[in-house]
Amino acid sequence: MRVTQRVKSILKHYEADTPGTKANLARILCTGKLAGTGKMVILPVDQGFEHGPARSFAPNPAAYDPHYHFQLAIDAGLNAYATTLGMLEAAADSYAGQIPTILKINSSNSWATTKDQSINASVDDAVRLGCSAVGFTVYPGSEHALDMFEEFQYLAEEAKAKGLAVVLWAYARGGDLSKAGETALDVAAYSAHLAASLGAHIIKVKLPSDHIEQVEAQKIYSDYDIDRFSQAARVAHVMTSAFNGRRLVVFSGGAAKGEDSVFDDARAIRDGGGNGSIIGRNTFQRSREDALAMLSTIIDIYRGKA
């Protein structure tokens, strides 16, 4: 593994972390076709748990098999593969060492009646399975947000002590947030800042709209003329909110949509200075051939070739 100057400069932003944690961050940043660029494309597959198997995998039945996703991420030249405990255990030995893995520690499900998540795995599971990082979700805005922050603090402390990187999904929802507010620019920026403040190494947020949700924020965005009228500008604002770009931020691909929309999103992330995409259903719900072609184009976009 060659650690480029670009990656070394990123690692310098994590001034409190041990060599073990920085080595695992470097493994993620230095794997795949984007190795060494500071850009990432990560495959997340927790949707079966979150939404149900048929809703997740029926469009491409091969995707019911945990081995399918490992092989897809490897063949596509991605930086890492993130999934749940059971999905990792079902294929961890066959693919040991072939791609950095992220163990998703908590999840919700489609029967849940509150905006909360259950903890379904441990840091020790991640160590046992050879993972480079653990992943965790918090819901800023939820009535359970403060409890989730506290759960994350304990998890992150243990993970860092054992040399793992920490990835935080920061998805604002619940409480007084409107549906439009879940992807509002001020809310996405606030979520990214919260995730950075909670100690995440890699932050995952949704691509923001130009909507401003909080009444208190509307005047600020107007008075200080914060640019929010292009997707690239909104990405740039989220990056600024993540410690002025000192924390890695990747943006969610969301529900399945047309190729052109996926590619436009990637270009906006690139042009706004984001670190990449974490994209699941938009790839694995397509045929393997189509998914590989899509991921190749996304990678080319981040390399400035498309």
Query: Which residues participate in catalysis according to the annotation?
Result: 204
How many whole angstroms separate alpha carbon 36 and alpha carbon 32? 9
Block residue for tokens 């938009």: 282
Residue 208 · residue 158 · CB < 8 Å: no
Cβ contact 50:107 at 8 Å: yes
Under a CB-based contact definition with an 8 Å cutoff, are residues 37 and 8 in contact? no
CA-based nearest residue to 279, from 269, 271, 94: 269
Nearest-5° Cα angle at 135, 132 to 140: 150
Q: How far apart are CA 124 and CA 157, in angstroms?
A: 13
Residue 235, CA atoms < 13 Å, CB-side half-sphere: 24
Dihedral sign, CA of 110, 115, 116, 117?
positive
- With vertex at residue 235, the alpha carbon angle to CA 284 and CA 44, rounded to the nearest 5 degrees, is 20
